[in-house]
Structure 1
Amino acid sequence: MTAVVHLQALGLTEYEARAYTALLALGRAVPARIARQAGIPRPKIYETLQRLEARGLAARVGESPMEYAPLSAREYIGRARRSFDDRLGALERDLSRLTPDPAPEAVYALRGDAAVRSLCETLAMGARNRLHLAGEGDFATHLERITGRGVQVTRTEVSDLPAIAAPGQRAFLLARDGEAAVVAHFMDATANAQVDASREAHGVHTHNPVIVRLVEGYVMLAAQQAQTPGN
Structure 2
Amino acid sequence: MDELSNHEEAVELLQQLGLQEYEAKAFVALTRLRQGTAKEISEVSDVPRTRVYDAVRVLESSGLVEIQHSNPQRFRAVSVGEAADTLQQKYDSRTDSLRDSLEAIDSVSTDAETDVTHEVWSLSGTAGITSRTQQLIDDADQELVFVLGDEDIFTEQLIERIRAAQQRGVTVIIGTTAESIRERVQDELPGTQVFVSGLAWLSGSLWSDDDTEIGRLLLVDQSSILVSTFHESAGGEHEHEQAVFGRGFDNGLVTIARRLMATGLPAVEDPGTGES
How does the TM-score come out when normalised to structure 2?
0.52
Name 2:76's counterpart in structure 1. Answer: 69
SS in structure 2 opposite 1:149?
helix
Call closer, same or farther: CA 1:216–1:70 in 2, change over 3 Å: farther
d(CA) in 1 for partners of 2:68 and 2:82?
18
- Considering fraction of residues, name the structure with more helix: 1
Which whole-Å CA distance do the structure 2 matches of 1:47 and 1:124 have between them? 43
Q: Tell me how far 1:48 sits from its aligned partner.
A: 2.4
Structure 2: runs of 5+ lacking an equivalent: 1-7, 108-112, 167-171, 176-196, 200-215, 230-242, 268-275
Equivalent AA in structure 1 for residue 37 of structure 2: V
* 1:158, distance to aligned residue in structure 2 (A): 9.4
Q: What value does the CA root-mean-square deviation take over the aligned residues?
A: 4.5
Q: How do 1:118-129 and structure 2 match up within 5 A?
A: 122-126=131-135, 127-128=137-138
TM-superposed CA distance for 1:225, in Å, is: 9.4
Decide whether aligned partners of structure 1 residues 226 and 180 sit closer, same or farther in structure 2, where only a CA change above 3 A counts.
closer
**Structure 1 portions without partners, runs of 5+:** 160-171, 187-201
- Out of 34, 37, 46, the residue aligned to residue 53 of structure 2 is 46
- The equivalences for 1:83-102 within 5 A come to 83-98=90-105
- Separation in 2 of the partners of 1:14 and 1:118? 25
Kindly report which structure 2 residues correspond to 1:135-174, keeping only aligned pairs within 5 A, or say none. Answer: 140-142=148-150, 145=154, 148-150=158-160, 151=162, 153-155=172-174, 174=218
Show the counterpart of 2:266.
227
1:181 and 2:224 matched: yes
- Structure number with bigger Rg: 1
AA of the residue aligned to 1:227:
P
1:108 and 2:119 correspond: yes
Query: Once the two structures are aligned, what percentage of the paired residues are identical?
Result: 21
Residues matched between the structures, number: 189
Which of 242, 246, 249 is residue 205 of structure 1 equivalent to? 246
Q: Normalising to structure 1: TM-score of the pair?
A: 0.60
Find the aligned partners of 1:58 and 1:119 in 2 and give their Cα distance: 33
Q: Which residue of 2 aligns with 1:199?
A: none
Local SS of the residue matching 2:47: coil
Structure 1 position 90, deviation (Å)? 2.5
What's the offset of the Cα at 1:99?
Answer: 7.4
1:67 deviates by: 0.8
**Alpha-carbon distance change, 131 to 89 in structure 1, aligned in 2, over 3 angstroms:** farther
- Alpha-carbon separation, structure 2, partners of 1:82 and 1:92: 15
